[in-house]
Amino acid sequence: MEYKYDKETDILSIKLSKEKPDFGEQKENIITHYNKNGKPIEIEILDASKTTVKIVEAVLGGKHNISTTKSH
Tell me the whole-structure pTM to 2 decimals.
0.74
Domains contained in the chain, number: 1
Upper half-sphere CA count for residue 41 (Cβ side, 13 Å): 14
Does the residue 65 lie in any domain?
A: no
pLDDT in tens, 10-53: 999 999 999 999 999 999 999 999 999 999 999 999 999 998 88
Does the residue 66 lie in any domain?
A: no
More confident residue, 2 or 52: 2
Does the residue 18 lie in any domain?
A: yes
What is the span of the domain harbouring residue 44? 2-60
- Strand ranges across the sheet with 23-27: 2-6, 11-15, 40-45, 30-34, 23-27
* Cβ atoms of residues 32 and 15 within 8 Å: no
Does the residue 67 lie in any domain?
A: no
